[in-house]
Amino acid sequence: LAEKLQNTLKKLKGKGKLTEKDVAEAMREVKLALLEADVNFKVVKDFVQKVKERAVGAEVLESLTPGQQIIKIVNEELTELMGQTQSKLTFASKPPTVIMLVGLQGAGKTTTCGKLAGLLKKQGKRPLLIAGDIYRPAAIKQLQVVGGQVEVPVFTMGDKMSPVDIAKAGFEHGVNHGNDVIIIDTAGRLHINEELMEELQNVKSTIKPHEILLVVDSMTGQDAVNVAEEFNGKLGIDGVVLTKLDGDTRGGAALSVRSVTHKPIKFVGLGEKLEDLEPFYPDRMASRILGMGDVLSLIEKAQASFDAEKAKDLHNKIKTQQFTFEDFLEQLQQMKNMGPLSQILEMIPGVGGKQLKNLEVDEKELLHIQAIIQSMTREERLNPSMINGSRRKRIALGSGTTVQQVNRLMKQFEQTRKMMKQFTDMEKSAKKGGKFK
């Protein structure tokens, strides 16, 4: 999806004016890309319509380039679709706060219980986990293991009592032991059925949780929407946790779950490890879906650690296409101040988390790059196009690398040049648009 949208949007860049036909054409591709990403059909239709209405007409004709304008609109509408601002947990005015996790089997409830408990503990809470899944073999043991890992107590009563009784006894246990957050793990089913819903309704009406969080596997695409709709209709939910966003870049579920249920996505699961839980940021997700990676947070990060004057200088050079190896070298040094390379790469458009995991980012590689650039003459650094075959050979020898490595760097340099150009374009649109963040 990311790639597709990016291509579409790229096509729009550099055109003088956005005509109705341009918009229609672009939106047809946006629509296909969204559908391909398993976004609910109706959601896609509404979305495309909305963007079309906004894009064709006066707004587009203002000072932004057409491409920037449409990126801005698509981005804003996507953000809006996913809830605009970050949605936090509601804590009870009088503790304990009770959080109940529900969802189908394998969605990630038990894992998320552990993640959430760990997160809340870090925030100074005293969570208690309650093992309410009495059906799945080893479910209780699993919760005990994750609870142990985050050092949060787990209340169990085996699998002979009903989930309602376990929840009730667990709640009392928590109250007596000063726990201020109680997280109930529940059983799922392979499919939604009456028995499951009745069971959950019973727990709900007995314990009256402050938060019922539906855990949804983001890999299930369209099904995620149906599941969310059912749970919300029959049980009533307060929010959604979207798991396994690390496994597949399709953000389809995130897009449609919110718009169909009108309930916010509160957290996302980004891996099997217990620290892999993050608050859900609609704006970031929108950017990601648009194939812009976490461009904006990268810009922020860069701004924080870049010398402001140098950055300005650099931007001017990029704008006038004067970005050279000298600047690249300087950039590499700046990057080191920004944090581990892998983290930075992750935020770069088109470099998905998945590819990245298979890709060992070798910090040694950075040293090679530095050596190569340092082996260039100043003239070569300022005018990379003059670096022909024999010069490459010389540079390789001088830096103790191979011609292939030099070639690779030349290519990377070209890409970086393009990427930096993209950033400045986006930044410009951010400044002018104001809301684009």
Q: Is 189 annotated as a binding residue?
A: yes
Q: Select the residue interacting with ligand GDP from 82, 196, 270, 298 (CB under 6 A).
A: 270
Q: Which stretch binds ligand GDP (CB under 6 A): 52-60, 159-167, 230-238, 240-248?
A: 240-248
Q: Is 187 annotated as a binding residue?
A: yes
Residues 60-99 as x/- pattern, contact with Mg ion by CB under 5 A: ----------------------------------------
Q: Is 293 annotated as a binding residue?
A: no
Q: Which residues contact 92 (CB under 8 A, 6 or more apart)?
A: 98, 210
Q: Is 79 annotated as a binding residue?
A: no
DSSP state of 192: -
Q: Is 112 in the site for Mg ion (CB under 5 A)?
A: no
Q: Which stretch binds ligand GDP (CB under 6 A): 32-40, 52-60, 106-114, 304-312?
A: 106-114
Q: Is 275 in the site for ligand GDP (CB under 6 A)?
A: no
Q: Is 110 in the site for Mg ion (CB under 5 A)?
A: yes
- Residue number, 139 or 270, with CB nearest to Mg ion: 139
20 in Cβ contact with 57 (< 8 Å): no
Q: Select the residue interacting with ligand GDP from 107, 181, 296, 426 (CB under 6 A).
A: 107
Tell me the residue nearest to ligand GDP as measured from the CB: 269
Helix residue ranges, H only, 222-362: 222-234, 252-261, 282-289, 295-305, 308-319, 325-336, 341-346, 353-358
- Taking the complex as a whole, the smallest distance from the CB of residue 133 to Mg ion amounts, in Å, to 5
Q: Is 352 in the site for ligand GDP (CB under 6 A)?
A: no
DSSP state of 40: -
Q: Select the residue interacting with ligand GDP from 84, 105, 201, 402 (CB under 6 A).
A: 105
Residues 145-204 that bind ligand GDP (CB under 6 A): 188
- Residue number, 109 or 126, with CB nearest to Mg ion: 109
Q: Which residues contact 88 (CB under 8 A, 6 or more apart)?
A: 266, 279
- Residue number, 35 or 356, with CB nearest to ligand GDP: 356
H or E, element range at 242: strand 239-243
Q: Which two tokens stand for residue 191?
A: 């499919």
Q: What single letter denotes the amino acid at residue 319?
A: K
- Residue number, 248 or 283, with CB nearest to ligand GDP: 248
Q: Select the residue interacting with ligand GDP from 67, 103, 118, 433 (CB under 6 A).
A: 103
- The Cα–Cα gap between 205 and 391 comes to 76
- The Cα–Cα gap between 161 and 143 comes to 17
Q: Which residues pair with 239 in a beta bridge?
A: 213
- The Cα–Cα gap between 210 and 97 comes to 6
- Residue number, 182 or 255, with CB nearest to Mg ion: 182
Q: Is 106 in the site for ligand GDP (CB under 6 A)?
A: yes
Cα→Cα distances 86→83, 112, 133, 269, 284, Å: 7, 19, 30, 15, 10
Q: Select the residue interacting with ligand GDP from 75, 87, 110, 179 (CB under 6 A).
A: 110
- The Cα–Cα gap between 215 and 69 comes to 35
Q: Which stretch binds ligand GDP (CB under 6 A): 9-17, 198-206, 224-232, 271-279?
A: 271-279
- Taking the complex as a whole, the smallest distance from the CB of residue 19 to ligand GDP amounts, in Å, to 43
Q: Which residues contact 303 (CB under 8 A, 6 or more apart)?
A: 311
Burial of 404 (0-12, 13-18, 19+ CB in 10 A): exposed
Q: Which stretch binds ligand GDP (CB under 6 A): 37-45, 239-247, 293-301, 426-434?
A: 239-247
- The Cα–Cα gap between 437 and 435 comes to 6
CA quadruple 179, 180, 181, 184: dihedral, nearest 10: 40
Tell me the residue nearest to Mg ion as measured from the CB: 110
Q: Select the residue interacting with ligand GDP from 269, 282, 293, 433 (CB under 6 A).
A: 269
Cα→Cα distances 336→30, 212, 312, Å: 36, 43, 19
- Taking the complex as a whole, the smallest distance from the CB of residue 120 to ligand GDP amounts, in Å, to 17
Residues 134-173 as x/- pattern, contact with Mg ion by CB under 5 A: -----x----------------------------------
180 in Cβ contact with 125 (< 8 Å): yes
**Interface positions with ligand GDP (CB under 6 A):** 103, 105-111, 188, 215, 243-244, 246-247, 269-272, 276
Contact residues for Mg ion (CB under 5 A)?
A: 109-110, 139
- Residues making up the annotated binding site for GTP are 103-110, 185-189, 243-246
